[in-house]
Amino acid sequence: MTSSNGSGFPLRRNRPRKRSGARPEREAQRVRTSLKLSNLPVGQTLENFDFAFQPAIGRSRIDTLATCAWAGRRRRS
């Protein structure tokens, strides 16, 4: 005997859903739409940042942070 939800249809057991191949495409579309709606300036990268305008920011430090090389190093005591 199977249980029903009152409508005469058997209750659906919790089964893992099949993942469709369209998921990454959907996520990419969501990101593109969010960027358009955000009105952020387009094409801003570290390569075209004017470090001369903001001399307090050291380019070598920013380049190191951008590569995430610092995350692999551990401080040894």
Question: pLDDT, tens digit, for every residue of 16-64?
Answer: 665 555 688 999 999 999 988 998 887 888 888 888 998 898 898 898 8
Inside any domain, residue 42: no
Inside any domain, residue 17: no
pLDDT score for 26: 92
Asked if the model's pLDDT at residue 14 lies above 80, the reply is: no
Inside any domain, residue 10: no
- Residue 67 is part of which domain span? 49-77
Inside any domain, residue 67: yes
Domain count, the chain: 1
Inside any domain, residue 65: yes
Using an 8 Å Cβ cutoff, are 10 and 4 in contact? yes
Inside any domain, residue 18: no
pLDDT score for 28: 92
